[in-house]
């Protein structure tokens, strides 16, 4: 394989000597590259230009239609044809001129041909086409490139083809963010890398190679040189690009830290020189034009290291110099402590030996790095800390550079958001978030033995200590744990995502009263494997990073290392009962679900373990789940696991059912939902308000009534867990509730009447009355609703809100139905009925509310009568009654006046009923 020299040399006015020098260096670097390649890699590289030059049905990448083909100035040589013939017996090359040449050239980017080339190096190839290519033919060329990538992948070769137009690239056209592109974050810096490290496989030589040493076009404009490819000028790099490029390198460091940290340090060095940046491509060109031909001295990676080293030495940053040297040594991958493998990497080995001697490294340092694949956790932990520290230092330096100059960032907001979220997911520390240390440092740090010990602090706080060996209780004072966790689940999942535990690892678990065992630990790890397969966190794509964070998978562990009945059984308390509700179990109504460990995997690639204990553990855990539900609808309901302890299956079924109901409740329109579940006689209420999830506890049913009676400003449906007070009129009424409908249930026994009303916004009203005439009470309530709803309808110009009335039947009726729909009454206008109307006056939202009560034809005002208002009204009622019998009076209407236009909407029906009840109670006491 050799670099194809264009058959038509550059125009006469162009300096030929620079072009010849660059082509000579290009050929020698390709020769070095081929010497280091495996056979399959060589075959791909040899045949690649020919695959794009032609479109043969028996060769990889064949496509139907007018697919672009023909590389300018390219003629396949014997090496390419031999490689093509190995692919198929049905191909024979025929030399003939093509009607058009649609491909400007193929250019190899990255570490190939440099000291950093390894057998694992991938091929990043720029496939360049002219500007005039139609959108349809561009699509066909991209499809052909994708097909060739797949063919290479089948051979075990990682090939990435980037199809674009050089002229459009020179104009600054960007690309979408992906794992293998830099998105909008860099343009000139990518061009700098291309000019100093890119290799011409076939096609046109970049025009940059034929211009002045400073990289500026001094002679004929590029458009007049048909045999040269114009990728753009590179006299200077705008300062705004450094920040975007730095963020991109931090992003890349998540998978390849050593290469990316070096490039990040290079960005920092460039920024420190701004605006007089001595770019590496300019150094490279000066060396070539100055007659330098030593490939080691011209090596792009060696030059990058030298630039970084000089910058850090000038700053006296010894720590990062040593890290940069380790990064470079590990990136190159030549193990100097081992015998050479053949002769093909002699030049790389010699170069690294000179460097190591220059650095003053001893054999121990070299041996440690050469055994990186065998590093244990402590080595990885130390290296991860050093890498994160270096990344953070560079980020701060370049961020400060951007702030000081007020540069507009050379990165789109979309890419900046995606990169920022990825970086926060990887490096930001948050409560419950698991830190992953082994990000591209070594392959495996699995331990043969691990120990987990439960301890209790002086304040009773539980802790679990993790050890990477077998540790017995007597050894605790002499061995330091690698992690202190709030619970066993946290300890195990942390080991799993950090690659410390495998199926063959021997686990020792020591807990109080043996409530946690190795068998249960294995069960926890099996669930962790389902959430984080092979211990890997989710790999987020650009679409996920552009959207709000959601749950991808979750698991909820209950009572790990805890027995909720241990205390009761020791004290001999009787639990006998037919109640098998785990939240209200047995005769003592005990809550069996007491300790919770919530494991979360998010769409941004984060892992969390939250532990909840104490009296409000369940409420806190459910509140956290609702927070995730309200962001976007998750892909799956969390699975619930009870790995040991008393009544495990009973607890698991109950908690899983509640979690499922919770997800059903808040999956859509979470701001319009409330969820109620009974726990040990109390009621937990979860709802969303002003974007926040709130969990509240009502100690008993009366407190729940008060909580649900709070004023609402928009409709909110209250959903009861199916096992929470089933058959109770409150849950029955809420089941039937829907927006813009008023619903009432009237029940009770004897002369005791219970009235429940759910208004048009879902707010609750409850009143307990004494009445020996239930029909009269129902008639009165319907009359009140009719008056208020009709008045509001006239004001709004809409139909009145419908009212539904139900009678509550005794428990366990024969047909199973406890609610009977009551027909709307037809009121007899001839029947005498005392109108008792309350007018609420409130000029503004912050002013005092005054009352006027209209009794018959007379008005009684709080401004006139003050504290005697209710006494005077009661006296008037007694005057109007025909008999002296004492029976309760009822308010027939409550109206709010004042407060400007739309004041009818200030109070819901439920709020008006509360005013009605309060005033009725005052008046009835005066009768």
For the stretch 76-91, pLDDT in tens is 988 888 888 887 766 6
CB 513 within 8 A of CB 492: no
The pLDDT-based confidence of 177 (bands split at 50, 70, 90) is very low
693-739 pLDDT per residue, tens: 999 999 999 999 999 999 998 999 999 999 999 888 899 889 888 89
345-388, pLDDT tens digit by residue? 689 999 999 999 999 999 999 999 999 999 999 999 999 999 99
587 or 67, which is more confident: 67
Dist. CA 218–CA 209, nearest whole Å: 12
CA–CA distance, 748 with 773 (Å, rounded to integer)? 12
Q: Considering the entire predicted model, what is its pTM?
A: 0.83
- Strand positions, DSSP E, 707-802: 717-720, 742-747, 752-758, 764-770
Interval 832-874: pLDDT, tens: 678 899 998 876 666 677 889 999 889 999 999 999 999 999 9
Asked if 129 and 52 touch (Cβ cutoff 8 Å), the reply is no
- Select the more confidently predicted residue: 214 or 308: 308
pLDDT for the residue 90:
64
Q: Would you place residue 667 in the very low, low, confident or very high pLDDT band (cuts 50, 70, 90)? A: confident
User: Can you tell me whether residue 170 is helix, strand or coil?
Assistant: helix
**What is the reported pLDDT for 430?**
93
% of the chain with per-residue pLDDT over 90: 57
Where do the DSSP E strands lie in 158-234?
159-164, 199-203, 205-206, 228-229
Q: What is the mean pLDDT of the chain?
A: 87
User: What is the end-to-end Cα distance of the chain in Å, rounded?
Assistant: 110
Looking at per-residue confidence, does 817 or 79 come out higher? 79
Q: Which residues of 35-51 are buried (b: 16+ CB within 10 A; e: fewer)?
A: bbbeeebbbbbbbbbbb
Spatial contact of 192 and 267, defined as CB atoms under 8 Å apart: no
Share of the chain above pLDDT 70, in %: 88
SS (H, E, C) 265-294: HHHHHHHHHCCCCCCHHHHHHHHHHCCCCC
Q: What is the pLDDT of residue 415?
A: 74
pLDDT for residue 220: 44
Residue 601 has pLDDT above 90, yes or no: yes
How far apart are alpha carbons 280 and 300 in whole angstroms? Answer: 8
Confidence of residue 3 (pLDDT cuts 50, 70, 90): very low
Greater model confidence, 829 or 425? 425
**Segment 580-609 mean pLDDT:** 92
pLDDT exceeds cutoff 60 at 175: no
pLDDT above 70 for 557? yes
- pLDDT band of residue 4 (cuts 50, 70, 90) is very low
Report d(CA 806, CA 821) in Å as an integer: 4
Winning range, highest mean pLDDT, from 310-314, 765-769, 793-797, 805-809: 310-314
Q: What is the rounded distance in angstroms from the CA atom of residue 681 to the CA atom of residue 631? A: 31
> For the purposes of burial, counting CB atoms within 10 Å of the CB of 379, is it exposed (0-12), middle (13-18) or buried (19 or more)?
middle
Residue 362 CA to its chain's centroid (Å)? 45
* pLDDT above 80: residue 548: yes
Task: Note whether 247 and 423 are within 8 A (CB).
Answer: yes
Is the model more confident about 484 or about 20? 484
Position 180 scores a pLDDT of 46
d(CA 14, CA 9): 10
């Amino acid at each position: 394989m050799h670099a194809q020299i264009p058959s038509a040399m550059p125009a006469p006015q162009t300096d030929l000597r620079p072009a010849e020098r660059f082509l000579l260096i290009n050929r020698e670097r390709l020769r070095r590259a081929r010497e280091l390649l495996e056979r399959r890699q060589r075959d791909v590289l040899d045949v690649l230009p020919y695959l794009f030059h032609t479109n043969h049905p028996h060769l990889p990448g064949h496509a139907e239609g007018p697919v672009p083909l023909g590389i300018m100035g390219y003629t396949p040589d014997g090496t390419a044809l031999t490689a093509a013939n190995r692919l198929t017996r049905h191909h024979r090359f025929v030399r003939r001129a093509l009607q058009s040449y649609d491909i400007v050239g193929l250019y190899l980017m990255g570490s190939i041909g440099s000291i950093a080339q390894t057998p694992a190096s991938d091929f990043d190839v720029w496939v360049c086409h002219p500007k005039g290519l139609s959108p349809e033919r561009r699509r066909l060329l991209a499809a052909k490139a994708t097909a060739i990538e797949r063919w290479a992948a089948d051979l075990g070769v990682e090939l990435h083809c980037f199809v674009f137009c050089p002229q459009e690239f020179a104009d600054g056209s960007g690309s979408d963010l992906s794992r293998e592109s830099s998105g909008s974050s860099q343009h000139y810096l990518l061009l700098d890398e291309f000019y100093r490290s890119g290799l011409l496989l076939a096609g046109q030589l970049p025009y940059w190679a034929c211009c002045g040493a400073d990289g500026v076009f001094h002679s004929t404009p590029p458009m007049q040189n048909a045999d040269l490819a114009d990728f753009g000028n590179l006299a200077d790099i705008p300062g705004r690009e450094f920040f975007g490029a730095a963020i991109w390198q931090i992003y890349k460091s998540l998978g390849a830290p050593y290469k990316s940290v070096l490039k990040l340090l290079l960005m920092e060095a460039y920024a420190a020189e701004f605006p007089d940046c001595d770019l590496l491509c300019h150094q490279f060109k000066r060396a070539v034009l100055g007659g330098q031909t030593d490939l080691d001295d011209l090596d792009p990676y060696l030059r990058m290291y030298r630039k970084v080293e000089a910058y850090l030495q000038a700053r006296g940053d010894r720590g990062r110099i040593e890290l940069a040297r380790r990064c470079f040594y590990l990136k190159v991958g030549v193990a100097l402590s081992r015998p050479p493998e053949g002769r093909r990497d002699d030049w790389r080995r010699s170069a690294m030996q000179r460097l190591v001697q220059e650095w003053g490294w001893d054999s121990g340092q070299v041996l440690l790095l050469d055994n990186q694949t065998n590093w244990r956790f402590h080595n990885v932990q130390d290296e991860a800390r050093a890498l994160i520290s270096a990344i953070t230092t560079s980020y701060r330096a370049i961020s400060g550079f951007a702030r000081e100059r007020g540069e507009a960032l050379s990165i789109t907001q979309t890419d900046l958001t995606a990169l920022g979220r990825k970086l926060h997911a990887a490096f930001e520390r948050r409560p419950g978030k698991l830190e992953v240390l082994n990000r591209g440092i070594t392959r495996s740090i699995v331990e043969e033995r691990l120990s987990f010990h439960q301890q209790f602090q002086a304040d009773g706080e539980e802790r679990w200590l993790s050890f990477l060996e077998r540790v017995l209780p007597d050894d605790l004072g002499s061995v330091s744990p690698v992690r202190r966790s709030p619970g066993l689940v946290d300890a195990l999942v942390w080991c799993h995502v950090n690659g410390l535990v495998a199926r063959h690892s021997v686990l020792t678990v020591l807990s109080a009263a043996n409530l946690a065992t190795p068998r249960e630990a294995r069960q926890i790890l099996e669930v962790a494997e389902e959430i984080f397969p092979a211990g890997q966190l989710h790999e987020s794509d650009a679409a996920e990073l552009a959207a709000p964070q959601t749950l991808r998978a979750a698991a909820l562990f209950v009572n790990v290392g805890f027995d909720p009945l241990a205390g009761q059984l020791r004290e001999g308390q009787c639990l006998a009962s037919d109640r098998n509700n785990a939240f209200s179990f047995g005769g003592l109504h005990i809550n069996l679900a007491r300790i919770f460990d919530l494991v979360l995997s998010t769409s941004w690639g984060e892992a969390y373990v939250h532990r909840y204990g104490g009296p409000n553990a369940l409420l806190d855990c459910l509140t956290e789940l609702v927070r995730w539900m309200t962001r976007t609808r998750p892909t799956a309901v969390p699975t619930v696991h009870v790995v040991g302890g008393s009544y495990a299956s009973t607890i698991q079924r109950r908690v899983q059912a509640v979690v499922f109901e919770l997800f059903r409740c808040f999956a859509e329109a979470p701001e319009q939902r409330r969820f109620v579940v009974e726990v040990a006689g109390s009621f937990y209420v979860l709802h969303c308000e002003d974007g926040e999830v709130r969990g509240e506890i009502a100690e008993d049913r009366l407190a729940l009534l008060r909580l649900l009676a709070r004023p609402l400003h928009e409709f909110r449906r209250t959903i009861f867990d199916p096992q929470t007070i089933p058959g109770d009129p409150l849950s029955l009424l809420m089941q039937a509730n829907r927006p813009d409908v008023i619903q009432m249930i009237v029940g009770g026994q004897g002369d005791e009447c219970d009235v429940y009303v759910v208004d048009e916004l879902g707010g609750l009203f409850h009143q307990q009355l004494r009445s020996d005439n239930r029909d009269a009470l129902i008639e009165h309530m319907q009359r009140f609703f009719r008056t208020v709803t009709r008045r509001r309808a006239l004001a709004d110009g809409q139909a009145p809100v419908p009212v539904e009335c139900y009678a509550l039947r005794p428990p366990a009726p024969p047909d199973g139905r406890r609610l009977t729909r009551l027909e709307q009454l037809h009121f007899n206008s001839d029947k005498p009925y005392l109108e008792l109307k309350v007018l609420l006056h409130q000029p503004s939202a912050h002013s005092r509310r005054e009352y006027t009560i209209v009794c018959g034809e007379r008005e009684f005002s709080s401004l006139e009568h003050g504290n005697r208002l209710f006494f005077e009204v009661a006296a008037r009622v007694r005057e109007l009654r025909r008999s002296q019998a004492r029976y309760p009076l009822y308010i027939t209407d409550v109206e709010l006046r004042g407060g400007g236009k739309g004041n009818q909407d200030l109070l819901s029906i439920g709020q008006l009923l509360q005013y009605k009840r309060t005033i009725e109670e005052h008046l009835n006491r005066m009768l």
